[in-house]
Amino acid sequence: MRLQGKVAIVTGGGRDIGREVSIKLAAEGARVVINYANDEASASATLATIKEAGGEAILHRADLTQADQAAGLVDAALAAFGPRVDILVNLTGGMVQRRPLAEIDEAFFDTVMNLNLKSTYLVTRATVPHMAEGGAIVNFASQAGRDGGGPGASIYATAKGAVMTFTRAMAKELGPQGIRVNALTCGMIATRFHDDFTKAEVRTAVAAATPLRRQGNAAEVARTVAYLASDDAAFVTGVNLDVNGGTFFS
């Protein structure tokens, strides 16, 4: 119960990695605000799991590429569990589609950058005024932000690289306030993301080439988030932490 009494916002918290993060933070004692954009059924299932285990959580629906809706998410957290937010997990993001450069128009570029980078910026901006010393922000970048991503993932990789830089910048800016900012750069994690965007044979090949000889799973990522959000990581900030089984060494 490392997070007893803490208030946590998890964006993209309804399914896959977000679901496991929400469940883990609640199991550690946090009161969790689960934001989702579209998949209400999955978010509701996550909420039910937390409540069945005796945890506290609420759902909130918002498009976090919109400033007013990002602010509304924070307002909902304060109304439910105020007076402050202790933990922010910026998980909202996605590749949308794999496209080579010749097929990337401005609308697609903006969509991917807004989903991954702008949402992180907007929710962070809205949350920080309500954080106190000891607060923790955990962003989600990607191994793609380090190595450029796979075929057709250039804009996604670029956005995630920007999240990594934003993490470092915020660690410097918010450190004097006692707020820590870190990010995860996940590799091949078995989620719907790779079900949608990565061929089975590619996943098999990546797993075979990984020192641990497998894909990761969402629960392993969630445990890493809980560590970074807790006082166990009290002197850790500005880190983009690899969670990839050794696929890529930074």
Please give the positions annotated as active site.
156
Query: What gap in Å lies between CA 144 and CA 116, rounded to an integer?
Result: 12
Neighbours of 159 (CB within 10 A): 28
Q: How far is CA 237 from CA 17, 167, 170, in A?
A: 22, 9, 9
Q: Is 173 helix (H, G, I), strand (E, B) or coil?
A: helix
Of residues 183, 178, 184, 176, the one with CA closest to residue 234:
178
In the chain, count H helices and then E strands.
10, 7
Encode 190-229: b = buried (16+ Cβ within 10 Å), e = exposed.
bbebbeebbeeeeeeebbeebeeeebbebebbbebbbbbb
Residues β-bridged to residue 185: 242
